[in-house]
Amino acid sequence: MTAAADRADRLRALHVPGTPVILPNAWDAATARAVVAAGFPAVATASAAMAPALGYDDAEGTPPDEVFAALARITRAVDVPVTADVERGYRLPPAQIGARLAEAGAIGCNLEDSDPATGQLVPVEDQVALLAGVRAAAPHLVVNARVDVFLHGAGSREERIAEAVRRGRAYVEAGADCVYPLIIDRLDPAEVRQLVDGIGAPVNVAFLPGGPSLRELADAGVARVSFGPGLFRLLQGVHEAALAAIAAGDSPYPGPGAG
């Protein structure tokens, strides 16, 4: 077994429904090292954090060469499995997506089923072809198939849940290891359980401020919890507050003598 295949198997084995792998997302080598130092067994990137850190907009605004170069810096900096958010592949052919992930040292990836340029959901068959092509090019890759019906779909909440299940099952059949229904509002543990039971494969859920706790997500059967760009935005807020304090003639540091 190759080293890459071993790392992929290690990451895949962490996806246990009810005992999810927790992935506080990173966006550069320093934050990836911090994730590992805190004891987490794997590193996941977030495009909505990496893109602005590199000076670009999200939604595939970053040139792919820069994405994969940044990813390679992260994989060289840590000794745990790294899984990359590569949006919908930056319009690269599936075989090239798999090859470039492998060259960068990543052993997993997120691939979303909406077009970053338009925000529209792509037809299920198009996403199935993309996932199957990436899987064929990189057999060991841990593929996390993002489902965007809660962002860009139509219909009632119940109809969107049913569509997320339909898409998720199709993506698993195409070779996905995990399904990521991206919900960024009103996250309900009962709905999460519907998705988990309906898809019948490991499910990834984003941790949201004010949403269910990690324990509640585990109880709903989730196999993977990620934080997306949440930590990046949290730290940006701290940085902005520190800059405002300096601009006002104050110390940016808390504690005695800060004023």
Q: What's the sign of the alpha-carbon dihedral 221, 44, 58, 61? A: negative
Per-residue confidence (pLDDT) for residue 257, from 0 to 100: 58
Judged on CB neighbours under 10 Å (0-12, 13-18, 19+), 184 is exposed
pLDDT reported for residue 258: 54
Q: How would you class 35 by CB atoms within 10 Å of its CB: exposed for 0-12, middle for 13-18, buried for 19 or more?
A: buried
pTM across the whole model: 0.96
Q: Is the domain covering 3-228 a CATH 3.20.20.60 domain?
A: yes
The answer to whether the CB of 111 falls within 8 A of the CB of 144 is: yes
Token representation of residue 26: 């990173």
Q: Are 150 and 182 in contact (CB under 8 A)?
A: yes
pLDDT at 240: 98
Task: Pick out the chain residues at pLDDT < 50.
Answer: none
CA angle 218, 173, 159 (to 5 degrees): 65
Domain ranges, ordered by start, for the chain: 3-228
Q: Who contacts 37 (Cβ-Cβ below 8 Å, separation ≥6)?
A: none
Instruction: Give me the pLDDT at residue 186, please.
Output: 85
Quick one: pLDDT at residue 1? 66
Reported as a single tens digit per residue, the pLDDT across 29-71 is 999 999 999 999 999 999 999 999 999 999 999 999 999 999 9
